[in-house]
Amino acid sequence: MLDGILAGLSTAVMPMNLMMVIVGCLVGTFIGMLPGLGPITAIALMIPLTYSLEPSSGLILMAGVYYGAIFGASSSSILINAPGCSATVVTAFDGNPLAKKGQAGKALAVAAYASFTGGTLGAIMLLIAAPALASVSLSFQSADYFALMVLGLSAVAAFSGKGQVLKAVMMTIVGLMLATVGTDRSEGVERFTFGQMDLIDGFSFLLLAMATFALAETLMSVLKPENPNNSATEQKMMSELGSLKLTKEEVKSVAAPTLRSSFLGFFVGVLPGAGATIASFLAYGVERNLAKGDAKKEFGEGSLRGLAAPESANNAASTGSFVPLLTLGIPGSGTTAVLLGALIAYGIQPGPRMYIEHPDLFWSIIISMYFGNVILLILNLPLIPYLAKLLSIPRPYLVPMILLFSITGVYLVSFNSMDIMIMVAICMAALGLRLLNFPMAPMLLGFILGGMLEDNLRRALLIGDGELSFLWERPLTLTFISIAAMVLFSPLLRPLWERSKAKAEYEKAKQKAAAK
């Protein structure tokens, strides 16, 4: 193994491969900033260009584009609330409010540092334990995946404000319902398509994200124009970059969430079928539930912890998704499926023997990921002042630009004009719900997890002859279900526990007074 790592290191530091890392990071960052052109599109665009390259150089270039695109997508989420890809939707929850407060520079800097930490820790864990982690991911069964999805849904409370838990649950159910539209993957029958060919494939996540966030917020600003004085003040604040430096207290507050989310994100990324999107939602939910007092109230209003958690998680998950790809030949996400195709096009079959038969290629990809994260940090920190200039564009010009990017991005995914009409219809519905103070994030969470929840429940029931005993027969499944139950019911049980504690203290004080 050590010989293989040294061979990979010598390949990764070749001038040609270092240049591929830099080009990949730059191209990925640029494409990632454009809503709709996420990492899958970015890598697909690179495939024809890599045919003339050595396999290691080509794959290092595409890997650089991958995590560069994830980083670039965070910038558009923070600056204009238009997520460049699904993995950075959560970044907008606290990143955009920070930009509106005149702290765009700090938000972009935190995103850069958190992404670097997540990507670096992910690369190190990949280097140390890739073959071993592959066997761990294989031990996951349908019942465990189902329980993991339930645990993910239990984070719904993290995406709702005070007194909005019921509304959040209702929106989650709407998301689960939307996930059922299209062709049933088990039976092959159409569900809720109303005979429309355009609905056979169901809704795309990008369409829903653009309709409920970028498009809906833009139209909200037109329908509900704010006080001109307030708007001018907000515009002035948004045009300010703010300091890029973090205080000691701020570093301390984001350090633990970043580390926790990096490990969580990597672990989720290792599981085939999970991916960076679920990792970012889970990390945000976990940090929101762990926060206490004022720190908890800041979530959704511009919390640095709420920004650092998903950013570190989605980068770590992107790195982790290479574990099943390289060691098992199983793509862990849509992006790694494209990379799998590129590997096969080079005549390389990824799998358990890849790191034995092609050690230089296997380890050079992993080592180049660390280089890529360093280069991303070096390249993008100086670019922050220029990126933040986007906020200084006057709103009358910014609004049409966001509309153009959103519509173009959704169209370029499917080249289907019907998707644009569906997006407008969903946007209208989202506008009405937003006016009634229904949170949109739980709907997206339900939609993301809905498909996998259903598939794994079906498989688990099939294996268990229709019995629900799989929920408590496997220790891992039972652990996930128990944690989900604790997360869901803790808000209800906490007042009872506090009342009981206060009563016990009162009785104790009473006994002491009587003894005196």
Half-sphere exposure of 103 (CA within 13 A, CB side): 18
Read off the DSSP letter of residue 182. E
Least confident of 28-42, 65-79, 270-284: 28-42
Distance in angstroms (rounded) separating the CA atoms of residues 465 and 192: 28
Question: What is the H or E stretch that residue 183 is in?
Answer: strand 182-183
The pair of structure tokens assigned to 114 is 């958190």
The rounded distance, in Å, linking the Cα atoms of 357 and 351 is: 10
3-state secondary structure 447-516: HHHHHHHHHHHHHHHHHCCCCCCHHHHCHHHHHHHHHHHHHHHHHHHHHHHHHHHHHHHHHHHHHHHHHC
> Could you tell me which of 34, 76, 87 has the C-alpha nearest to residue 335?
87
Buried b (16+ CB within 10 A) or exposed e, 482-502: eebeebbeeeeeeeeeeeeee
> Where are the alpha helices (H) located in 101-164, listed in sequence order?
104-138, 142-153
pLDDT at 49 over 80: no
Kindly give, in sequence order, each residue whose CB lies less than 8 Å from that of residue 200, ignoring residues fewer than 6 positions away: 182, 183, 190, 193
Strand segments (E) across 228-360: none
d(CA 416, CA 418): 5
What is the rounded distance in angstroms from the CA atom of residue 173 to the CA atom of residue 357? Answer: 48
CB 43 within 8 A of CB 339: yes
Cβ atoms of 366 and 126 closer than 8 Å:
yes
Q: What is the mean pLDDT of the chain?
A: 79
Question: Which tokens hold the place of 496?
Answer: 């009872």
Average pLDDT over residues 190-207: 83
pLDDT at residue 249, as a whole number = 85
- The secondary structure of 54-106 as a DSSP string is -HHHHHHHHHHHHHHHHHHHHHHHHHHS--SSGGGTTHHHHHHHHHHTT-HHH
Task: Evaluate whether 16 touches 5 at the Cβ level (below 8 Å).
Answer: no
Buried b (16+ CB within 10 A) or exposed e, 43-64: bbebeeebeebbbbbbbbbbbb
Contact between 254 and 276 under an 8 Å Cβ cutoff? The reply is no
Amino acid 492: pLDDT = 66
Between 238 and 304, the higher pLDDT residue: 304
The whole-number average pLDDT for the span 60-73 is: 82
pLDDT band at 222 (very low <50, low <70, confident <90, very high): confident
Helix and strand counts by DSSP (H, E) for the chain = 24, 2
CA angle 39, 45, 49 (to 5 degrees): 130
For 377, the enclosing helix (H) or strand (E) is: helix 359-387
Q: In the predicted model, is pLDDT for residue 230 greater than 60?
A: no
The dihedral built from the CA positions of residue 395, 399, 402 and 408, taken in this order, carries a sign that is: negative
DSSP secondary structure letter of residue 333:
S
386 confidence band (pLDDT: 50, 70, 90)? confident
Q: Which residues pair with 190 in a beta bridge?
A: 183
Confirm if 214 and 440 have CB atoms less than 8 A apart. no
85 confidence band (pLDDT: 50, 70, 90): confident
Query: Which one has a higher pLDDT value, 326 or 131?
Result: 326
Terminal CA-to-CA distance of the chain, rounded, Å?
72
pLDDT at 137: 67
Which of these ranges, 164-178, 277-291, 317-331, has the smallest mean pLDDT?
317-331
Residue 443 near residue 178 (C-beta atoms within 8 A): yes
Q: Quick one: which of 393, 392, 36 has its CA closest to 215?
A: 36
* CA gap 374, 349 in Å, rounded: 29
d(CA 221, CA 210): 15
- Greatest Cα-to-Cα distance within the chain, rounded to the nearest angstrom: 90
Q: Do 122 and 266 contact (CB within 8 A), yes or no?
A: yes
Comparing CA positions, the residue from 136, 118, 130, 141 lying closest to residue 326 is 130
Mean pLDDT lowest for which of 88-97, 128-137, 339-348? 128-137
- 438-465 pLDDT, tens digit each: 888 788 778 877 888 888 889 888 888 8
Closest to 105 in 3D by CA, of 477, 466, 381:
381
